[in-house]
Amino acid sequence: MIAEFVESPGGLAVKAALIAAGLDFLFGVFFAVRDGSFALDAVAAWLRKHLMGRVFPITVLAVAGFYSKDGFMIAAAGAALATYAAETLASVYSSITSSSVGQVTKAVPQD
């Protein structure tokens, strides 16, 4: 049953969002360690804000739209996934192009 969703375009979009989130995490940690600005509480903030605050709700919307065949939900999930992907890939690009070794480039996310 869930395999149908995973193999659908919506499932592929969710997988792409998870991959983008993973890349953002890996590059962010790598460059924060390199710059000497790594903080362990930033990992918890990333999990809470990215995965549980963005990817999980969008995934729920995509799954609900897929199984209910509700075009509005599917469109909303698609728009949300596209927006999340653009934001996350911009963050990855920012991490890669940042050349400020030894300087804190981003503040640790706060609640």
Nearest Cα neighbor of 84 from 3, 19, 4 is 19
How many whole angstroms from its chain centre is CA 57?
11
Token look-up 């995934």 returns 59
Instruction: Report the domain count for the chain.
Output: 1
What pLDDT tens digit does each residue of the chain (111 aa) get?
788 999 998 899 899 889 988 988 998 889 888 888 888 888 898 899 989 999 999 999 999 999 999 999 999 999 999 999 889 888 888 878 876 555 555 555 665
- Other CB atoms closer than 10 Å to residue 110's CB: what's the count? 6
Is 101 inside any structural domain? no
| Residue-number span of the structural domain to which 32 is assigned | 9-96
Run of H or E including 102: none
Is 3 inside any structural domain? no
Is 45 inside any structural domain? yes
